């Protein structure tokens, strides 16, 4: 099937639905600048991040309530404006796409410094808006494929990291991770089904190791996407499994990576002149 | 091949794309510093053993132990991770500044880096005040007193077991 303008609109809507859902999750869990009202930050080894900090925005965000509200508002509004320009073919689409990506990078960098969340969970908001930074079906085709390759690379390297660091060769890896991750629940006692469930998993190390191994295999399998687009729908299924597993078993929210799936979903479409 | 098509379509985009991928591979290979938006996706990759003791903060508010199983994991993490992160920031921010300053000095940009831009400007009392406000927001009740202690746990004989005594944290508050 050939790529049409309608496909770009569908992707834009999908991106907006994902963003709205994630933003709502963050609001209901009290995870916005204006809800946390941060008073400190934890710096980390990040070349560009430390350059951002030269602006002293971190102190302004701590000091001024109006700035925190403004950042939360701009972070919410930008994707809506971007999708509006894409959907109704308005001027300024390229500028809005780049502005949305850059602001998402800044917002999430500072937010992760001032809360418990990891910045790695937010990469989709920094890259997916760039899909709309190119105009027309031809531009969309190339930008979608570039972001698709980056997503595959990010996800595939998670498997390589587990091999390189040695986690995959450790038989009690997932049991130990579950113990570490769910310590507050385990301390609360066996009155809760989830606590009993986690205890069961911790005590069955062979079973949990198989789950860990399965996850590493799923992550590794994404390498196939570099060579063919034939299995992209299958990769979507694998990724959904991974995100659900992470959310319910590990209590880590990777739903914010969902917009990347649009790149896999639309990858099978060809250019009309091709 | 996609890269060949990309080169024909837009040479600038091609160069930016290749540069990004090479930077990503280099940063991941070097295994240390990130460069937003290039990160290392190595979470839970290093070996962890079940025999290793784990530390947990035990929180009491208004003289009652807070039951963490009642709260969403996001709120639970905010209550338990933020005090640890604050304590960690006292050392880590200085260490990161020193490393970054050394790195940027090699690029003749060291003069841009003033330690004052990289350190927190609150003390334990400031953190305690913020934490009490946050607790009141999560627990949905005014918090007059709270106590945070660190406890070590091990997994032994198929059960969780406390090890040693509770260690009180410096910003425990009593009104």
Spell out the domain ranges in chain A. 1-133, 142-274
pLDDT for res B172: 65
Query: CB distance B41–A161 less than 8 Å?
Result: yes
CA atoms within 13 A on the CB side of A101: 18
Query: Same structural domain for residues B22 and B103?
Result: no
Is residue B133 within 8 A of residue B61, CB to CB? The reply is: no
pLDDT for res B170: 77
Which tokens belong to B47? 């070996």
pLDDT for res B19: 96
* Domain ranges, residue B30: 1-46
- Chain A residues near residue B127 by CB distance under 8 angstroms: 39-40
Residue A41 reports pLDDT greater than 70: yes
Query: Same structural domain for residues B83 and B157?
Result: yes
Dihedral of the CA atoms A142, A98, A127, B72 (nearest 10)?
A: -150
Query: Same structural domain for residues B90 and B71?
Result: yes
Is residue B44 within 8 A of residue A167, CB to CB? The reply is: yes
- Chain A residues near residue B47 by CB distance under 8 angstroms: 165-167, 169-170, 173
Query: Same structural domain for residues B64 and B142?
Result: yes
Task: Report the complex ipTM.
Answer: 0.92
Number of separate domains in chain B = 2
Query: Same structural domain for residues B14 and B79?
Result: no
B157 or A70, which is more confident: A70
Chain A interface mutation, best of B45, B52, B64, B137, highest count of A Cβ atoms under 10 Å: B45
pLDDT for res B69: 81
B94 in any annotated domain: yes
Distance, CA of B110 to CA of A89 (rounded, Å):
46
B175 in any annotated domain: no
Q: Is B138 on the interface with A (CB under 8 A)?
A: yes
Cβ-Cβ pairs closer than 8 A, A with B, add up to 206
Query: CB distance A44–B34 less than 8 Å?
Result: yes
B8 in any annotated domain: yes
Query: Same structural domain for residues B96 and B25?
Result: no
Distance, CA of A229 to CA of A233 (rounded, Å):
9
Which residues in A13-51 are b (16+ Cβ under 10 Å) and which e?
ebbbebbeebbeebeebbbbbbbbbbbbbbbbbbeebbb
pLDDT for res B128: 93
Cα nearest neighbour of B72 on chain A: A29
B116 in any annotated domain: yes
Q: What is the pLDDT along chain B (175 residues), one digit of tens a residue?
A: 899 999 999 999 999 999 999 999 999 999 889 999 999 998 889 999 999 999 999 999 998 989 888 888 889 999 999 999 999 999 999 999 999 888 888 888 778 788 888 999 999 999 999 999 999 999 999 999 999 999 999 999 999 999 988 888 877 665 5
CA atoms within 13 A on the CB side of A207: 9
Residue A262 reports pLDDT greater than 90: yes
pLDDT for res B174: 58
pLDDT for res B1: 85
pLDDT for res A273: 65
Query: Same structural domain for residues B101 and B147?
Result: yes
Distance, CA of A65 to CA of A26 (rounded, Å):
18
Of B127, B114, B121, nearest to B170 by C-alpha is: B127
DSSP conformation class of A256: G
């Amino acid at each position: 099937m050939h790529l049409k303008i309608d496909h770009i609109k569908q992707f834009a809507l999908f991106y907006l639905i994902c963003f709205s859902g994630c933003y709502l999750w963050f609001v209901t869990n009290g995870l916005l600048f204006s809800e946390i009202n941060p008073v400190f930050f934890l710096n980390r080894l990040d070349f560009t991040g430390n350059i951002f900090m030269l602006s002293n925005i971190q102190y302004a965000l701590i000091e001024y309530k109006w700035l925190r509200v403004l950042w939360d508002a701009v972070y919410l509004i930008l994707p809506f404006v971007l999708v509006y320009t894409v959907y109704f073919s308005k001027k300024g689409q390229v500028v809005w796409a780049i502005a949305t990506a850059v602001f998402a990078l800044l917002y999430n960098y500072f937010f992760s410094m001032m809360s418990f969340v990891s910045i790695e969970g937010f990469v989709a908001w920094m890259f997916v808006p760039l899909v709309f930074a190119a105009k027309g079906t031809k531009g969309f085709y190339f930008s979608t494929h570039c972001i698709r390759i980056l997503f595959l690379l990010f996800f595939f390297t998670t498997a390589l990291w587990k091999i390189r660091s040695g986690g995959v060769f450790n038989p009690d890896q997932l049991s130990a991770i579950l113990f570490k991750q769910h310590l507050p629940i385990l301390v609360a006692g066996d009155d809760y089904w989830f606590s009993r469930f986690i205890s069961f998993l911790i005590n069955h190390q062979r079973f949990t190791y198989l789950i860990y191994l399965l996850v590493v295999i799923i992550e590794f399998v994404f390498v196939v996407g570099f060579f063919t687009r034939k299995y992209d729908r299958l990769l979507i299924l694998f990724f959904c499994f991974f995100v659900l597993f992470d959310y319910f078993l590990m209590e880590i929210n990777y739903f914010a990576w969902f917009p990347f799936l649009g790149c896999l979903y639309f990858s099978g479409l060809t250019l009309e002149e091709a | 091949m996609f890269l060949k098509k990309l080169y024909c379509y837009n040479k600038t985009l091609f160069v930016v794309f290749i540069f990004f991928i090479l930077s990503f591979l280099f940063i991941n290979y070097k295994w240390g510093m990130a460069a937003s938006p290039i990160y290392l996706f190595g979470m839970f990759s290093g070996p962890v053993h079940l025999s290793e003791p784990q530390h947990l903060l035990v929180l009491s508010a208004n003289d009652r132990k807070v039951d963490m199983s009642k709260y969403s994991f996001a709120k639970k993490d905010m209550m338990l991770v933020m005090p640890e992160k604050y304590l960690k920031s006292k050392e880590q921010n200085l260490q990161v500044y020193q490393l970054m300053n050394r790195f940027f000095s090699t690029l003749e940009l060291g003069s841009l880096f003033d330690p004052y831009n990289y350190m927190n400007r609150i003390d334990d009392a400031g953190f305690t005040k913020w934490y009490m406000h946050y607790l009141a927001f999560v627990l949905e009740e005014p918090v007059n007193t709270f106590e945070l202690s660190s406890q070590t746990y091990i997994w032994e004989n198929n059960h969780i077991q406390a090890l040693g005594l509770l260690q009180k944290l410096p910003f425990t508050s009593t009104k």
